[in-house]
C-alpha cells in the first residue's frame, strides 16, 4: 500500500537559513508533500511553526531532538502538543555508545528511562539509526541488540543507513523491525562511504522491496531525508516525491509528474 509522504526539513537546512524558510516550505507544499518532520523550528515558537505548516496544508509527522533529560520532559510535552504530533525521535547518539554490548546496555537504560517518562505525556519515543547501528556485534546488528534490551522502544528505520554501505539488505532490515517502525526514512545513493546521496530512484535502493517489507498496520509515514546530495537539494527533494508517488509507493497531495 502507498504511505503518506513527508520530508525531513533538515534536508533543506541550507536553503531555509537566514529566514528563508517560508518560500521553501511553500515549495515543499506545492510539490505535493503531505507533511514534514521537524529538526529545529527556525526560531519560531511551536505554535507559530504549527501555523506555518497548517497554512501550507502540511502535517507535522514527528520531531527530531536529543536524548530527553528528565528536567526537559515538561517543555518537550508542551512543545509536542503544540506541534500536534506524538512522535519524538532521538536523532543521534555517538557511535562509541554502540561500540560494545555493555555500552549498548547503557544506551538501552537511557532510552527506556526517557521512553517511560514520555509515555506519561502520551508521547512515543523512537530511535533514528545511522549506519553504525547496523554494524554487527556477536553476529547481530547492533540495533537488534538495542531492540531486545528495550522491547517497547519504537524505531524510525533509515532505510539507506540500514544497508551499512551494502553490508546489509535494507528490505530485510525493514522486515526485521517492521512491527516497531511507525516511521521510515527514505534516501538513495551509491551505498558507498563518502559518496553523495541522490534523489530517491536514482541510486541503488530497491524501494519496491523496501516498501513491501514494511508493516502497513504500523508504519504511518515515509519521510524523505537527504543528509547531503550531489545535485541541487531542492530538486532532489522534488524528484524524490515524483519517483515515490509515481511508482505507487507513496501518496501525496498532488499527482506525480511523468
Other CB atoms closer than 10 Å to residue 239's CB: what's the count?
21
Cell numbers placing 244 = 515515490
The full set of domain ranges for the chain reads 3-251
Q: Which CATH superfamily is domain 3-251 in?
A: Divalent-metal-dependent TIM barrel enzymes (3.20.20.150)
- Indicate the average pLDDT of the chain: 97
| HSE-up of residue 176 (Cα within 13 Å, Cβ side) | 19
Name the CA radius of gyration of the chain, rounded.
Answer: 17
Calculate the CA dihedral of residues 202, 207, 209, 214 and round it to 10 degrees: 160
pLDDT, average across residues 220-233? 97
Under a CB-based contact definition with an 8 Å cutoff, are residues 83 and 51 in contact? Answer: no
Mark residue 122 as left, alpha or beta (left: phi above 0; alpha: psi -120 to 50; beta: remaining): left
- Chain centroid, CA 130 distance in Å: 10
For the whole model, what pTM was predicted?
0.98
Q: Which pLDDT score is estimated for 258?
A: 77
pLDDT, average across residues 216-223? 98
Q: How confident is the model at residue 1 (pLDDT cuts 50, 70, 90)?
A: confident
Express each pLDDT in 170-204 by its tens digit: 999 999 999 999 999 999 999 999 999 999 999 99
Express each pLDDT in 69-111 by its tens digit: 999 999 999 999 999 999 999 999 999 999 999 999 999 999 9
Under a CB-based contact definition with an 8 Å cutoff, are residues 154 and 179 in contact? Answer: no
Express each pLDDT in 13-36 by its tens digit: 999 999 999 999 999 999 999 999
Q: What percent of the chain has pLDDT over 90?
A: 98
Express each pLDDT in 148-172 by its tens digit: 999 999 999 999 999 999 999 999 9
pLDDT, average across residues 218-241? 97
Cell numbers placing 77 = 510535552
Amino acid at each position: 500500500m502507498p504511505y503518506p509522504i513527508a520530508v525531513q526539513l533538515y534536508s533543506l537546512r541550507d536553503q531555509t537559513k537566514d529566514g528563508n524558510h517560508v518560500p521553501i516550505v511553500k515549495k515543499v507544499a506545492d510539490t505535493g508533500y503531505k507533511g514534514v518532520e521537524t529538526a529545529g523550528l527556525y526560531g519560531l515558537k511551536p505554535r507559530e511553526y504549527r501555523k506555518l505548516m497548517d497554512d501550507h496544508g502540511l502535517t507535522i509527522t514527528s520531531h527530531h531532538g536529543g536524548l530527553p533529560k528528565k528536567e526537559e520532559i515538561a517543555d518537550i510535552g508542551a512543545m509536542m502538543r503544540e506541534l500536534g504530533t506524538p512522535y519524538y525521535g532521538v536523532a543521534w547518539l555517538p557511535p562509541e555508545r554502540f561500540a560494545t554490548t555493555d555500552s549498548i546496555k547503557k544506551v538501552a537504560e537511557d532510552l527506556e528511562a526517557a521512553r517511560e517518562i514520555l509515555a506519561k505525556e502520551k508521547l512515543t519515543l523512537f530511535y533514528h539509526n545511522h549506519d553504525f547501528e547496523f554494524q554487527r556485534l556477536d553476529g547481530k546488528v547492533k540495533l537488534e541488540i538495542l531492540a531486545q534490551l528495550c522491547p517497547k522502544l519504537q524505531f524510525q528505520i533509515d532505510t539507506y543507513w540500514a544497508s551499512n554501505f551494502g553490508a546489509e539488505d535494507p528490505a530485510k532490515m525493514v522486515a526485521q523491525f517492521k512491527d516497531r517502525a511507525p516511521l521510515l526514512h527514505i534516501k538513495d545513493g551509491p551505498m558507498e562511504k563518502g559518496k553523495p546521496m541522490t534523489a530517491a530512484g536514482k541510486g541503488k535502493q530497491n524501494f519496491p522491496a523496501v516498501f513491501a517489507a514494511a508493516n502497513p498496520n504500523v508504519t504511518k509515514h515515509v519521510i524523505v531525508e537527504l543528509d547531503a546530495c550531489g545535485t541541487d537539494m531542492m530538486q532532489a527533494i522534488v524528484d524524490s516525491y515524483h519517483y515515490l508517488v509515481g511508482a505507487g509507493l507513496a501518496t501525496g497531495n498532488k499527482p506525480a509528474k511523468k
